[in-house]
Amino acid sequence: MALSRTAHIVTAYGEELDQLADDLARMGGLVETQLEKAIAAVVRRDASIKPDIKAREAQVNALQVDIEKRVLRLFALRQPLATDLRMTISALKIASDLERVGDLAKNIAYRAGDLAGYAPLPLTQQVERLGAIVIKQLREVLDAQSSADIEPAVRVWHSDDEVDERYNTLVREMLLAMTEDSGLVGPGVHILFVAKNLERIGDHATNIAEAVHFMVTASPLVDDGHS
């Protein structure tokens, strides 16, 4: 069921819903970029990104506040129903997940700064790979939200297992590397935190997938055991 964006009889109401959707899309875009930059900075062990990430985080937080205000206003003044109700509720949930993702991306960027003094590290490629998967998840689930399409949302939801697996492997290998070379303990801990943050972001992408599923179908996304 596609959400018709302009068909409301009360034009201003339709516009308010559109603005909510636009805010959410903007917030998603910002968070995506933030995450991309943070991961790239980790790969380069680059501290220079910190101020940029900080500024973006402020924007993300402001957008979340804005979205909360819009949702409150819609409930108080328009009493949205059916798809509009579900879209509004999901926007609120997704915005709070995105805010958390933004926060985790900021943590990742800060770890990039902590890595600045070190020589190239083993397992960097694996971190980059994990990051690429999580970014893809985030992008797909946000696209699913804006096009009200459950198929990619369900796919993202199922792909969380792969993220967890890669994360566990990375932790195991890093611990092994650290036992073999105690000089890796310092930077290795930073890498472990980065990986942990990425894994958490994957969980938020899963939450967003559930919100999209609810928005489109009005039913929760549960494991049907055969897909």
Partner 1 sequence: MTDASHNPAELPIKVAARDVTVSYSGKQALHNVSIDIPDRSVTAFIGPSGCGKSTFLRCLNRMNDTIEGAKVGGSLTIDGREINDKSIDPVVLRASVGMVFQKPNPFPKSIYDNVAYGPRIHGLALSRPELDEIVENALRKAGLWDEVSDRLAHPGTSLSGGQQQRLVIARAIAVNPEVILMDEPCSALDPIATARIEELIDELRENYCIIIVTHSMQQAARVSQQTAFFHMGNLVEYGPTEDIFTNPRDSRTQDYITGRFG
Binding site for partner 1 (CB under 8 A): 1, 4, 7-10, 13, 79-86, 218
Comparison of 55 and 72: residue with beta carbon closer to partner 1 = 72
CB of 85 to partner 1, least distance (A): 6
H or E stretch covering 183? none
Nearest CA-CA partner of 105 in 200, 219, 225: 200
1-to-135, 158, 216 alpha-carbon distances in Å: 27, 22, 7
d(CA 53, CA 11): 37
User: DSSP character for 120?
Assistant: P
CB of 42 to partner 1, least distance (A): 43
d(CA 38, CA 113): 10
d(CA 217, CA 227): 17
d(CA 138, CA 203): 10
Q: Which residues contact 133 (CB under 8 A, 6 or more apart)?
A: 159, 162, 163, 166, 202
Comparison of 82 and 119: residue with beta carbon closer to partner 1 = 82
Residue 53 CB neighbour total at 10 angstroms:
24
Comparison of 85 and 177: residue with beta carbon closer to partner 1 = 85
CB of 71 to partner 1, least distance (A): 16
Comparison of 43 and 85: residue with beta carbon closer to partner 1 = 85
CB of 75 to partner 1, least distance (A): 12
CB of 152 to partner 1, least distance (A): 21
| Local structure of 14: helix, strand or coil | helix
Comparison of 79 and 182: residue with beta carbon closer to partner 1 = 79
Comparison of 75 and 193: residue with beta carbon closer to partner 1 = 75
